[in-house]
Structure 1
Amino acid sequence: MRNPLSKVVTELKPSGIRKFFDIVSEMPDAISLGVGEPDFDTPWHICDEGIYSLEKGRTFYTSNSGLIELRSEICNWYKKKYGCNYDPKKECLITVGGSEGIDVALRALINPGDEVIIPEPSYVSYVPCTLLAGGKPVIINLKNENEFKLTAEELSAAITDKTKVLILSYPNNPTGAIMTKEELIPIAKLAVEKDIIVISDEIYSELTYGDEGHFSIAALPGMAERTIVVNGFSKAYAMTGWRLGYALAPEMIAVQMTKIHQFAIMCAPTTSQYAAINAIKEGDKDIANMRESYDKRRKFLLKQFEVMGLPCFEPHGAFYVFPSISKFGMSSEEFCTELLRKEKLAVVPGSAFGECGEGFVRISYAYSIDELREAISRIEHFISELNA
């Protein structure tokens, strides 16, 4: 029998996050700070709405694009928050998590050989989804001294006559970096000038700390018609297992994304959609409470890193810190492997998020403060031995 497998698929590298998660799941007394998942339960009023929808027999397919009431609430929310105007009937698609939104956006846009610019460190799915769509990933290695923010100079240097898409991911996973309106303006100008489509992954938009807040590049002049916003309910509302996201896009693109979604998925889970309507209507207080808790944990970790001499820029978004471990003369994977073996503590190598993540580790603070205190104690002990 000849090899039946796709060469593109077999050559994809497995996720560097899952490796450590799988090991720690079989290790007694181990602590994992590796998974990007809120430790909060989904707020009860959201769960209750999902249960009510089941009790009422709302268990049938919705339209391919999703419940119109949910799409309307999402579009109203983006208008209120960022001044972005989207037609819920033509420019909004409900997806199975934000990840599906990224996948169908790339498949709707890419012809074989089109180049997709991906600033790294970044979420692990961007490169594989680009390859699966037939595109060519073009990596920009972001710099620690710039707090891993994309500059117009870096973007300009990466653009060629084959460039079609730029993927932006702010607030960023794994670094926690954000980009302000002023920092996004030159990026938007280049996108307009060079006719580039932007996929803006805004899944952590509600988790920012300080006065700046999140700003959507879609709100800048000339960007609404060339931006696909991907967002969802997983992070902001602690609804990861409900698997619900959405994409906002110009009608011409949204129609094609919906076509792919129609054939591959049919529609997002009906129960989750009803729950999400309640979340977006009544969940602002829940977001504020969770954000306040994350902020306290963020400040705790940064203070502890300072005490132990572990360099780390201050992240203002998501729920990750990205400290440098390069001074120990170990690769990120070696550091994480030894930390897990000796201290039973799992964090993720920065190299899992791109080559420029080498020398860093991603630590999630979507865990209780007690777990974080114990984790810090284990890191301190591990580092003291390395310094001995």
Structure 2
Amino acid sequence: MTRTDYPWLLPSAMAEPDGPDGPDPTPAGKPPRRTVRDWVVDTLAFLAAAGVGVLAAEAAQQAGNAEAVVVADQLVGAAACCALWVRRRFPTGLAVVLLVVAVVAPVASGAAMVALFSLAVHRPFRPVALVGALAVVTTVAQPAVRPDPTTSYLVSAVAGVVLVLLMVGWGMLVRARRQLVAALRERAHRAETEAELRAEQAQRLAREAIAREMHDVLAHRLTLLSVHAGALEFRPDAPPAEVARAAGVIRDSAHEALQDLREIIGVLRAPGDTDGPDRPQPTLVTLDALVDESRQAGMAVVFDNAVADPATVPAATGRTAYRIAQEGLTNARKHAPGAEVTVAVRGGPGDGLGVEVVNPPPAGPVGAVPGSGQGLIGLTERATLAGGRLEHGVTRDGGFRVAAWLPWPS
């Protein structure tokens, strides 16, 4: 949706807003098709101008003017009223002509006032001010050219000037109100557009968060499946107990992967706060279980947890630390199978929480391992959003190190 969907919001429409009788002509000069409202408004304007013209004709006849002058006034007044039907196309020119004609033919005064009002609605201040000044001059000159015996010149001139100011002020008030309405519509349209953009951005961020969460959870489980399935493939003659143990790990890992996936998808349907108790998120307390699970899968893991009470770590910080350790163990299992991995957690309130996962280089050649490195990129972003930092890279001896620092308020 663009501004062109609302033609009244375009700059040309702001400069010449719709008058009381419908939209202005198109830029090419061709008037748009009249609506029922246009016909009603034009008819009322014609009747109002004609009523004023009839009163002016009766006053001219009572003033003792010749019959030919009275007939000429009536013909000019009728032509002036009929000319109001084209005021949409020529508002400025029509107003100037009718104001000049009204000087010698008071019967056209009603049509001149309607044209002046329409001009004030359709055009900006400068042309309205110029034509308004002309209207004041013609209104003051009219009693001198066609005096009314029943009214003094001063009263007629003052009444005419007041009427001109009233028409111009009323028309400019209508114009200002319509500009205000157009501005409010534009603001509402902009607010709707911005709300849609914010909603789309929120959806995109939610998708990215879910994708990171699914990667962090499933990569660990699926790596276990891959390790044990590979062991069964390359050792078909393994003892039955070892085969049964590997098959059990595969079954448990597949079950837990499905359970984790089901819980993550369930977050989308869960009402309320995303950090509420319904959301199944690990913390630093569950890091022991993660290490035990890796050991059961055959990894050699040295776990050094120097945090006295892991339960006191903030939930968000504990989740981030858990995901970092999980990703480090997953990468070590894939890229350095059989190597001893060290997981160290240190810190306290006010000092922050440090998480480090280090593994030495693999003992032998490692085949191509699928992966794009998106896990470490996501963890770096996650740590940064949490107010901390994460570093990762190859160590001097050819191993790999992942180290992160997370804030822990005192």
Q: With structure 1 as the length reference, what TM-score do the two structures score?
A: 0.20
Higher strand fraction (1 or 2): 1
Determine which structure has the larger helix proportion and give its number. 2
Higher RCO (Cα < 8 Å, 6 or more apart)? 1
